[in-house]
């Protein structure tokens, strides 16, 4: 099951709980603020959060990580280029908040890594590296559920900004085309700052014209 919770302390960010219905164990994606609210959601529903997955290292996706990591004993995962964002407030942009955020205990994963529950390897997500909004940008794809958590790569009828450290527009558009728009057309794309969309819908956007095969 997928539960979306919007946190609003900074920018409104969609946080996703991706949880196995049977065992109630699961992952949280992009806990960007309001750790207390997220802890309460998990507690009320009996969720056991094994892993914290980050689509990239901007403050509005990571600000609740340290507190949740400690509360849940969960492991934190990012794409392997994420270290500079995890450890440098000028890159994760928390230096602009007046409260530096640094993540100390992160597992870095290569492209195509598969993330599973400890006791249920069938419950899994695939990391797909989609740089361009940031150099560590990635999505987490569930083939089984036909859904992808796409962070700030894709928004409904839009895409992430590319003027921040590590960003590059040409890279983003070509990687979205290669790594997201090649997924099955009906795949639902769950983004961090917009309503959901689908591969099929986004393929119609003019900025991908000429890139699609």
Minimal distance in Å, beta carbon 133 to Zn ion?
6
Residues 53-92 that bind Zn ion (CB under 5 A): 58
Minimal distance in Å, beta carbon 194 to Zn ion?
13
Minimal distance in Å, beta carbon 163 to Zn ion?
11
Select 19 or 175, whichever has its Cβ closest to Zn ion: 175
The answer to whether the CB of 81 falls within 8 A of the CB of 58 is no
Select 47 or 59, whichever has its Cβ closest to Zn ion: 59
Tokens of 136: 């560590």
User: Which residues does 151 contact at the CB level (< 8 Å), separation at least 6?
Assistant: 30, 55, 56, 61, 133, 137, 138, 139, 160, 191, 192
Select 51 or 58, whichever has its Cβ closest to Zn ion: 58
In terms of C-beta density within 10 A (0-12 exposed, 13-18 middle, 19 or more buried), how is residue 121 classed? Answer: exposed
CA dihedral 98, 167, 140, 177 (to 10 degrees): 160
Does 136 sit near Zn ion (CB under 5 A)? no
Select 30 or 202, whichever has its Cβ closest to Zn ion: 30
Residues 143-162 that bind Zn ion (CB under 5 A): 152
Residues touching Zn ion: how many (CB under 5 A)? 2
Three-class SS state of 138: strand
Minimal distance in Å, beta carbon 56 to Zn ion?
6
User: Which residues does 193 contact at the CB level (< 8 Å), separation at least 6?
Assistant: 11, 12, 13, 14, 152, 155
Minimal distance in Å, beta carbon 58 to Zn ion?
4
Residues 21-60 that bind Zn ion (CB under 5 A): 58
Residue 93 burial (CB count, 10 A): 19
Select 20 or 136, whichever has its Cβ closest to Zn ion: 136
Q: Which residues bind Zn ion (CB under 5 A)?
A: 58, 152
């Amino acid at each position: 099951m997928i539960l979306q919770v919007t946190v609003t302390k900074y920018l409104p960010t969609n946080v996703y709980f991706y949880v196995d219905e049977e065992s109630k164990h699961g992952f949280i994606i992009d806990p960007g603020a309001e750790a207390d609210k997220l802890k309460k959601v998990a507690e009320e529903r009996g969720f056991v959060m094994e892993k914290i997955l980050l689509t990239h290292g901007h403050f509005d996706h990571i600000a609740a990580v340290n507190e949740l990591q400690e509360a849940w004993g969960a492991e934190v995962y990012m794409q392997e280029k994420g270290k500079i964002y995890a450890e440098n407030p000028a890159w994760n942009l928390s230096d602009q908040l007046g409260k530096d955020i640094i993540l100390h205990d992160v597992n870095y994963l290569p492209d195509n890594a598969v993330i599973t529950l400890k006791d249920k390897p069938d419950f899994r997500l695939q990391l797909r590296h989609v740089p361009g909004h940031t150099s560590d940008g990635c999505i987490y794809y569930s083939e089984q559920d036909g859904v992808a958590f796409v962070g700030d790569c894709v928004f409904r009828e839009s895409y992430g900004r590319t003027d921040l450290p590590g960003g590059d527009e040409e890279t983003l558009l070509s990687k979205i085309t290669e790594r997201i728009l090649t997924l099955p057309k009906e795949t639902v794309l769950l983004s961090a700052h917009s309503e959901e969309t689908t591969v099929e819908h986004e393929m119609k956007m003019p900025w991908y014209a000429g890139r699609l095969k």
